[in-house]
Structure 1
Amino acid sequence: MGLETEYGIMCAATNGVRCLGPDEAARYLFRPIVEKYSSSNVFIRNASRLYLDVGAHPEVATAECDNLRQLLAHDRAGDATLTDLGFLAEQALAQEGVDAKIHLFRNNVDTIGNSYGCHENYLISRDVLLKNLGNRLMAFLITRQLVCGAGTLAPKNSGYPAGFCISQRADHVWEGVSSATTRARPMINTRDEPHADSSRFRRMHVIVGDSTMAEPTTALKIGSMLLMLEMMESGWPLPEWEVAQPSHHIRDIARDLSGQTPLVLKDGTTVSALEVQETYCQAASDYLRQRQPPAQGGTSQAELLKVVELWSRTLEALRKQDFSLVDQEIDWVIKYQLIRRYQERWNTEDPRDPRLINLDLRYHDIHPQRGLLRLLEQRGVVKRWITEEEVLQAKDHAPDTTRAHLRGCFLQAAENCHAPVTVDWVRLKLDRPEPTMVELPDPFSAVDDKVDELIATMQDHSEQGVYS
């Protein structure tokens, strides 16, 4: 599994006025990367992919991870990598006489209504018919925002009044399952691009989730999805709710903090969004009582039990409307209560008050001294799921239990040897003196003699002065 996160970028002078557009700010941000690699689309030493996406959005795609805790650390390491680049960009601007700050936002909407994504990737068996699986997951996915939405102050939109929304992505997805990504913006993308042995694997590409800031929220987002996939693969009994208009309901749910939005099913019956989540959460709890933990790798039983405990507690908070149960763990709850406090302090109920919009945006700033969520973490007001030591380890080292380990070793050796190489998710190629390539079709294999031989060849060439 892995996460792809697109970041918003803004350059502001010390007086708060924007001084560079996103395109120019992104060029300063990626200047060290382009100078080192002659490209703004690269794999870095921890085996993740760092690149500049369409619309001047920096993006990090984590390396392949095989357990939840590992993924959280590598997801957070992406923030740390971009923070470092932001610091270098500010230094470069200062040397040119520009006193400005680079702000990087882990969110999904900008102030003029553009949306960008946080995509989840899950490896599934080729035997699974992805469209059918996606349709079965639709009720879960459109209601999942109740427990892991990022929250936002949304403008008036398509008949909805301006106000607080549980999800940032809800207004920006238009279909349930589709092979398109930008034109249709589906919740699940079915494009057949497994980045692995296509005879064995498929990739489930989930587009509907928010970019979450609090680690427990991210853990719940990914962990609940892992449990749903496990239960479906094992044939665990689950209700098969077919929602009549998923893209319409997802917007309604986003504006209902009670969770009581009724979903109209194709058979004409209804079920509330909260009931959907409660049913799936209870099924996951029952499933875990008899689950056989994997012999090697995978997410531990203890970690999944922790996910279900938070899942259940979040649903209880919704049922009782007692958000103090999760106000240190769930993003939209943390942000909602923060906004309510400042509304009272500033005596305003206007959701488009510029001060509140700025507060909303600052929540998503990834800078450790400027971002509101990061400051709340440091004060102990927001809980963490992993340690800072795990993040620092993930920043410079690939996961050691997946194919990413081989990519990381290869990249590190190439850097040490100053060797010209080309890398993607599946291939490692030594470009000179004779192009030599190794393919890695199995994402679960962290050992490969051919990669060891390729690295040894690279080191021999380096000692012979081939790359001098």
Structure 2
Amino acid sequence: MTRYMGTETEYGIATPDAPGLSPIITSTHAVVAYAAMHTGARSRWDYAEESPLKDSRGFDLRRYRTVPVVDSDAVGVANVVTTNGARFYVDHAHPEYSSPEVSNAYDAMVYDAAGDLILNQAAAEIRGLYEHNLSVLKHHDPCPPLKIYKNNVDGKGASYGAHENYQYSRQTDFDLLTQALIPFFVTRNIIIGAGRVGIGAEGEQPGFQISQRADYFFQEVSLETTLNRGIVNTRDEPHADADHFRRLHTIVGDANMSQTANFLKFGMTKLVIDAIEAGGDFSDLRLRNPVAEIKNVSHDLTLSHRLELVDGRELTALEILALYRERVSALDDVDQRVVELWGQVLELLATDPLSTSHLLDWTAKWSLISGYLKRGVDISDAKIRLIDLQYTDIDPARSLYHALVGKGRMSTLASADEIAAAAITPPADSRAWFRGRVSARFGEDVIAASWQALLLKTTQGSVRLAINDVDGFTKAQVGELVERVENTDELVAGLAKLGLCSD
């Protein structure tokens, strides 16, 4: 099966000119400002298919018995379906970009990077409005200029997510999947880690570690995403046909600036899930104490730490990832590219971790910090923490990551033009194409939207269009119709003629 995937990125947000301003309010300003740039792009979110407390282990801690209807004008619930088929909204105290569904790891990386561009556009709009003393929120003062960071910690003990999602078969045994993935999730941080100054949840110990998120996991498996986090999350919310699919809601990764790290994050994980569903056996790699080891791996910059396995062996993270790589099979050109790059990065890390500083976030950041340490700056100095933060600034004019790219010291895989196109154009081979193009063409008539449905206003009343199949409503299937019709009445009639379902 095609392994559809996507991301959910909660960005850090700050207003240096007004540090006491609520991030809930500033996040709302950002989303509404972006909506104002795209006529009719704002809509309610349709919660009819949401089930965040349903657990893959067979129980449901149902939060509510009826579908909530939330006032889309309320502060903290602003929501936009972007023209590329993504969702841009306020999640607690963060602006969150949830990318459109894509069919491969390369597109996942590109559409994730497109989120940075969308957030930058929102920040630029806020800056312009502030200069003219204008506000997009009624009864609220203009929002001061925003600083937006693609990181996972606030330095005060809180961590926010960069989640990945992978569709897989409901026939796959969840316990088998879990046990096969845990050693992989514990060790893949040596490739996908974003690097972090500080050890411990509050950074209470001086030092540098590989992963931003590692210190915030306390169980092997859990339904929780904010407290008592599990290395494998058990949420059973497929956002698709629940009889056939599940969605692996992965919360154990870092937010990446590096395109190489992001590409490998999606590509390696996809290949491991493929291997599990094909009957691959990873039972010999089970760890004796995964929760302790995820921290041990993150805290060891030499990559020499030996993890204890259930069978008594001791292997490094490099050795474990090499074994995973040996047991996966490339099914297409993207997979093959992943396998080759995976091997190259492992070889470089084994030789000298800093030899990957042009490829990976944590080594790029550590290389910058090491330069200061060699000049006598202490690891606990505020300058070091500033490097940590500035690396993740998504503004190309201020970001240390983008400065490295500009100087040729950080490799990229996708061009600026590719990312710019992905910020406005939905992927052609998933239902995101329909969601994005309908939102772009008929945004004022989109009453509510979700991953699985669009609620449209027509002259005959509201019509709910179900789009359960992730591989349906593609450009090839409905593209000619969507581009040809003049209004939602014609769209609904045309879909009916094609035999496509509507509620």
Structure 2 length normalisation: TM-score? Answer: 0.81
Q: Give 1:139's aligned amino acid.
A: P
Aligned to 1:12: 16
Distance 1:160-1:267 versus aligned 2 partners, 3 A rule: farther
Q: Aligned with 2:285: secondary structure?
A: coil
Measure, in 2, the Cα distance between the counterparts of 1:449 and 1:431. Answer: 19
Distance 1:426-1:99 versus aligned 2 partners, 3 A rule: closer
* Residues 458 and 489 in structure 2, CA contact (< 8 A), matched pair in contact too: no
Residue of 49, 64, 67 corresponding to 2:87: 49
Distance 1:132-1:283 versus aligned 2 partners, 3 A rule: closer
Q: Aligned with 2:396: secondary structure?
A: coil
Residue of 327, 334, 347 corresponding to 2:364: 334
Measure, in 2, the Cα distance between the counterparts of 1:112 and 1:249. Answer: 23
* Residues 73 and 390 in structure 1, CA contact (< 8 A), matched pair in contact too: yes
User: Shift in Å at residue 239 of structure 1?
Assistant: 5.0
Higher percent of residues as helix: 1
Residue of 298, 311, 320 corresponding to 1:276: 320
Residue of 100, 106, 127 corresponding to 1:90: 127
Aligned to 2:299: 255
Measure, in 1, the Cα distance between the counterparts of 2:442 and 2:203. Answer: 55
Q: Give 2:84's aligned amino acid.
A: N
* Equivalence map 1:309-320=2 (5 Å): 309-320=340-351
The runs of 5 or more residues in structure 2 that have no matched partner are: 43-71, 135-141, 493-503
User: Shift in Å at residue 384 of structure 1?
Assistant: 0.6
User: Shift in Å at residue 437 of structure 1?
Assistant: 1.6
Measure, in 1, the Cα distance between the counterparts of 2:485 and 2:174. Answer: 37
* Residues 302 and 353 in structure 2, CA contact (< 8 A), matched pair in contact too: no
Measure, in 1, the Cα distance between the counterparts of 2:211 and 2:244. Answer: 35
User: Shift in Å at residue 450 of structure 1?
Assistant: 12
Aligned to 1:216: 260
User: Shift in Å at residue 12 of structure 1?
Assistant: 1.5
User: Shift in Å at residue 199 of structure 1?
Assistant: 0.8
Aligned to 1:142: 186
Residue of 421, 425, 436 corresponding to 1:397: 425
Structure 1 length normalisation: TM-score? Answer: 0.87
* Equivalence map 1:258-407=2 (5 Å): 258-284=302-328, 287-288=329-330, 293=331, 300-301=332-333, 303-321=334-352, 323-324=354-355, 326-345=356-375, 347-348=376-377, 350-407=378-435
Percent identical = 32
Q: 227-236 or 315-324: which moved more?
A: 315-324
Residue of 164, 178, 191 corresponding to 2:208: 164
Measure, in 2, the Cα distance between the counterparts of 1:155 and 1:317. Answer: 25
Post-superposition CA distance 1:409-428 (Å, at most 9, x none):
2212213xx32432110112
The aligned length equals 440
Distance 1:446-1:370 versus aligned 2 partners, 3 A rule: same
Measure, in 2, the Cα distance between the counterparts of 1:310 and 1:319. Answer: 14
Post-superposition CA distance 1:43-84 (Å, at most 9, x none):
111110111111x21100000000122112211111101101
Residue of 238, 243, 258 corresponding to 2:287: 243
Q: Aligned with 1:281: secondary structure?
A: helix
Q: Give 2:85's aligned amino acid.
A: A
User: Shift in Å at residue 305 of structure 1?
Assistant: 2.7
* Residues 155 and 352 in structure 1, CA contact (< 8 A), matched pair in contact too: no
RMSD (CA atoms): 2.7
Measure, in 2, the Cα distance between the counterparts of 1:387 and 1:461. Answer: 35
Q: Aligned with 1:266: secondary structure?
A: coil
Distance 1:161-1:440 versus aligned 2 partners, 3 A rule: same
Q: Aligned with 2:300: secondary structure?
A: coil
Post-superposition CA distance 1:117-141 (Å, at most 9, x none):
1000000011012232012111111
Q: Give 1:208's aligned amino acid.
A: V
* Residues 434 and 473 in structure 2, CA contact (< 8 A), matched pair in contact too: yes
* Equivalence map 1:18-97=2 (5 Å): 18=19, 20-33=21-34, 37=42, 38-39=72-73, 40-54=78-92, 56-96=93-133
Residue of 425, 440, 445 corresponding to 2:451: 425
The runs of 5 or more residues in structure 1 that have no matched partner are: 294-299, 463-468
Whether 2:160 is the aligned partner of 1:123: answer no
User: Shift in Å at residue 321 of structure 1?
Assistant: 2.5
Q: 404-413 or 35-44: which moved more?
A: 35-44
Distance 1:159-1:76 versus aligned 2 partners, 3 A rule: closer
* Residues 194 and 362 in structure 2, CA contact (< 8 A), matched pair in contact too: yes
Q: Give 1:246's aligned amino acid.
A: P
